[in-house]
Structure 1
């Protein structure tokens, strides 16, 4: 299974830190955030990684190279000319690099100890989402969970972690261009094509300078 790291975002909430550095290259506990992902992916059996780049994107290949020093092969999906295409749009542009089999996607701005599963079987489903207990900045949550079925509405909702397994067919109706992932997922959830699970171990959304500071001081 291939994996994609979403690393193209501007990181407005992380300014001024992201005025000179892409958010995935900010250091968490002594190493760039995206390096934590690469090392974990390699440890979990992933070898082919796609990374999309936009804001100060050239700095990411400069820092990571072809991935060989991390035990992986990195291919870059370059959005620098058109600007970041958002999550679904970035995946659509990268589909040719990801191939016809299901793949993993992880947001470049989360820090976690989740074990990525290179053998995950989607079956007939279009997506499988990793949900987490709601952090303070998202107390209302995003999706409900009934067993393994993801729900758009429920009494208790959890936060989408930014980690998911996807069948490329999920994106087959989307045209090239800017496109968010959440509306697409909600549409397929209505059709009962999305499963999920609740992950209760370490996970952080590194979305603001204060959150980054808190993690590094923990």
Structure 2
């Protein structure tokens, strides 16, 4: 099975650590974020991995070569000319991801204990076009789901902005966790081009397609793209 690890980000929230290296190569408890992400997805059976690169992309290529791709089939989706955001990044990697099976998308700065095999099974049982991992946590932007956990909208609670994809009697808000499972059949449905966020595409497709949220209630999820969270993770993983 295939997985796309998003490793192209600028890592602005991790400065000064990312002034001379990509976020993916920042270390926590003796391992880079990229190595931890590779180990996480490959342990769940996703052994054909695509890594997208932009900021200090050459360093990521060198790191993978020095480690013999960790014994896996790892390919590069090169965004060094232009950073394409999440939606554009997936579209750019299309030739490397198209298959008969769903693929995993995983943010390199996520540290979690989620069972990815369970996520994949849940996705298949619902015959979803895409399944987004979500949690109940505080944030400024939320995805809105109906009682069946189908994506219905999005809101920014700071600005009051709301975007509805489907009208439902009741919605519940969840925070996106940076992990999703996507069917390759999504590619012909993508009308966006260039640089665009994946959430906008999901909202457009949700009106007529099965896009679900999977509530992650596992004991660990951290956004290591923030310095303070990186320090907490360092302490937790070193125990």
* Interval containing the TM-score (normalised by the shorter chain): 0.7 to 0.9
Identify the match of residue 215 of structure 2 among 191, 195, 198. Answer: 198
Moved more, 177-186 or 164-173: 164-173
RMSD, aligned CA: 2.2
Matched residue, 2:164: none
Give the superposition deviation at 1:87. Answer: 0.5
Matched position secondary structure for 1:77 = strand
Matched residue, 1:178: 195
Matched residue, 1:40: 40
Matched residue, 2:77: 77
User: Aligned partners of 2:225, 2:9: CA distance in 1, in Å?
Assistant: 11
Give the superposition deviation at 1:156. Answer: 3.1
Identify the match of residue 209 of structure 1 among 227, 234, 237. Answer: 227
Moved more, 146-155 or 18-27: 146-155
User: Aligned partners of 1:148, 1:175: CA distance in 2, in Å?
Assistant: 25
Matched residue, 2:50: 50
The two structures have a TM-score, normalised by structure 2, of 0.81
Stretches of structure 1 that go unaligned for 5 or more consecutive residues are none
Matched residue, 2:150: 149
The two structures have a TM-score, normalised by structure 1, of 0.88
Give runs of ≥4 in structure 1 deviating > 6 Å: none
Give the superposition deviation at 1:190. Answer: 2.4
* Residues 1:169 and 2:170 are matched in the alignment: no
Question: Number of paired residues?
Answer: 215
Matched position secondary structure for 2:114 = coil
1:30-76 CA distance string (max 9 Å, x none): 21111111112222112100000001111111112286553321000
Give the superposition deviation at 1:214. Answer: 2.1
Matched residue, 1:116: 116
User: Aligned partners of 2:125, 2:182: CA distance in 1, in Å?
Assistant: 8
User: Aligned partners of 2:74, 2:66: CA distance in 1, in Å?
Assistant: 5
